[in-house]
Structure 1
Amino acid sequence: MKIFISWSGEPSRQVARALRDWLSVVAQHVELWMSEEEIQSGTRWNDSIASSLDVTNFGIVCVTRANQSAPWLMFEAGALAKRLEQARVVPLCIDLEPSDITSPLHAFQGRKLDRAGMRRLVNELSDLAENPRPRESIDTLFDAMWPRLEAAVAEATATITAPSGEPNRSAESMLAELVTRVRNIERDTENRESHQMETRLLGERVEKMQIALFSAKREAEEAVARAHVAMNDHHHADARTAAALTEVQLLQATVAKLRHELEAAEGSNRVKIKQGAIRSPATPESRAAPGHLPPTTTPGNRPQTAP
């Protein structure tokens, strides 16, 4: 980012020079341009300033009570305001308050050349960088370097005498100031209304996001509950399956036991049958031919034959 430092007369020039050297350390991401140092010998003065204004992103105008209406400050401030889409022109008030500016520079938001005003300006420059530095780092560097700028400004403004009273102002000057103040009020009002609209839209978006978040949370809780139910059902099914397998194993063991007992009983019967056959041998009569009856005996022990 390139910064154009505008000045006119003393002590504005000394302050601009000190500011250039100080910002090169505190805001290292910016490129500073000051007419006294950057115009090379043999270069047309107006052309050099015009080309620098064309590539400038930010303008700082060193303003005093004496030079606030200087034609050259008006020219450079107007060129910067016309060049930039957003009026990044900051009147830096050396020996007056921003509210004390009566020239057209009053249309821009000024900063007082003191500790608070310069801290705010440095933070604004950091916010415009592509990669802003942490605010803590900026404040540490600012606190370390501020005494250097403060001493340079005090030296430059040591010869400034306080104004004896309010200068005589023409009716045209007061009318111009009034018009400027009215325009500033209108611009501030428009900005405030735009900010309120943005705030309201942001609130609506936040509310919608909260509703969506609540719905998503409720759906997630329901999904977790269903998962717990499914897990419980799965556990119950596993328990029932295990019980059935146990019963099947018991039945198999019972069947195996009964089969063993049956085989043992059949073996015992076969043994008994064999033993019975050995104890009861066959007699001649039992071996008689079929159809013939064995002879019978009478009381006299005489055999009788069938008639």
Structure 2
Amino acid sequence: MATKVFISWSGDTARSVARVLSPWLQDLIQACAPFMSEDGLQKGVGWPGELRKELGSARFGIVIVTPENSGSQWLHFEAGALAVAFEDNRVVPFLIGTTTADLDGPLRLFNAVTSPTREEVFRLVCSLNGALETPLETGPLDRAFERLWPELERDLAPILEAANASKGSDPAPAEKERDDRLLTRLDSLERQVAAQRVQGLRMPSGHDVARLSNAINATLKRANWPMGVNVAIDGERIRVEFTGPLPEPVVREVESHIDALGVNAEMLVPVDRDPSLSQAEDRSIATATGRRHFLTAG
């Protein structure tokens, strides 16, 4: 059975992105079944019956965030509900013309696709592949992505151009309105999601170590970045320790491999000393999940 992928959107730009992304993902990974509602987010309490049904059967969620909808309480509410619905919290914000600094509510708790670049979209694909009952092998996935990426890049180009041109414009009046009841629900969802990200992680196994090690080595090889890595079980988590510095795109792709496993893990990456940072900042810089730690070299 195909793995259901729930694509959440609000506003014209996000709808355009969803219409391009949905069929492209299905062409890339035939074992997934993307769903997007042509009605978008409904201005009311709860979803229509069809949306609730699709949400209940989904295993992965993509939330398309744009300058147009980044302040939408409804978008944040749906993102939080998606995360609570999934045992392993497979929710990825897909940012178009905005940054992680603009994220609020439950959205800020997840590792986002920060821009629709080849590297970032491939991270999304790796996370989605990890959510499948039978994930694709690295080789076939890489080849399929390389073949189909130009098509997605071409179709997104005019949407991105329009989104960049509209930066700085005011959101629609409806998005400015505050709903105290919805804000209360958002606060509750955010706390629930944060707790679930820790409590919902399972104990790692030897199979997880082997799978993660293979995925990381494939990433390093594809990036032409020769670097030693030790992947081992350390108590109730997996410890991933690199022997030298890594470029940021490689770090983010490794994080997506870890997210796909749904286990507690810590990644240690040596870096050169940055004189602009305090010792505390330099020695412990964490992602939203608190997973990544950089150790000063020397």
* In the alignment, structure 1 residue 147 sits paired with structure 2 residue 150: yes
Amino acid of the residue matched to residue 58 of structure 1?
Answer: F
Q: Give the equivalent residue in structure 2 for 1:6.
A: 8
- Cα distance in structure 2, aligned partners of 1:88 and 1:139: 21
Q: CA deviation at 1:116?
A: 0.8
1:68·1:105 contact (CA, 8 Å) conserved in 2?
A: no
Q: Which has the higher contact order (CA 8 A, sep 6+)?
A: 2
State the identity as a percent.
33
Q: Which residue of 2 aligns with 1:124?
A: 127
The residue that corresponds to 2:108 in the other structure is: 106
Shift of 1:53: 0.9
- How much has 1:99 moved relative to structure 2? 3.9
Which deviates more, 68-77 or 110-119? 68-77
Looking at structure 2, the residues matched to 5 and 29 of structure 1 have their Cα atoms a distance apart, in angstroms, of 16
Q: CA separation of 1:15/1:164 partners in 2, compared to 1, >3 Å: closer, same or farther?
A: closer
8 Å contact from structure 2 (residues 7, 61) kept in 1: yes
Aligned to 1:224: none
| Cα distance in structure 2, aligned partners of 1:53 and 1:7 | 14
What does residue 272 of structure 1 align with?
none
DSSP-derived class of the 1:14 partner: helix
Q: How far does residue 52 in structure 1 lie from its aligned partner after superposition?
A: 1.0
- Hey, what does 2:178 align to over in structure 1? none
Let me know the Cα RMSD of the aligned residues. Answer: 4.1
Instruction: Please state how far the C-alpha of 1:75 moved relative to its aligned partner.
Output: 3.1
CA 202–146 in structure 1, closer or farther in 2 if over 3 Å, else same: closer
Question: Could you list the per-position Cα deviations for residues 118-137 of structure 1 after superposition, in whole angstroms to 9, with x for gaps in the alignment?
Answer: 10111122222222222121
TM-score normalised according to structure 1 size = 0.51
TM superposition score normalised by structure 2: 0.53
1:219-273 deviations in Å (ceiling 9; x for gaps) = xxxxxxxxxxxxxxxxxxxxxxxxxxxxxxxxxxxxxxxxxxxxxxxxxxxxxxx
Larger radius of gyration: 1
In structure 2, what is the equivalent of residue 47 of structure 1? 49
1:12 Cα shift? 0.4
Contact (CA 8 Å) 2:70, 2:102: kept in 1 or not?
A: no
For the Cα contact (< 8 Å) 2:92–2:113, is it kept in 1? yes
Measured at CA, do residues 165 and 17 of structure 1 come closer, stay the same or move farther in structure 2, by a change above 3 Å?
A: closer
Residue 158 of structure 1, CA deviation: 2.2
Give the deviation of 1:36 after TM superposition: 1.3
Look up the equivalent residue of 1:48 and give its one-letter code: E
- Mean Cα deviation higher: 194-203 or 14-23: 194-203
Tell me which residue corresponds to 1:17.
19
Find the residue that maps to 1:35 and give its secondary structure.
Answer: coil
Q: Which runs of 5+ in 1 are unaligned?
A: 39-44, 168-172, 204-307
Matched, 1:199 2:234: yes
Whether the 8 Å CA contact 1:68–1:103 is kept in 2: the answer is no
* Larger proportion of strand: 2
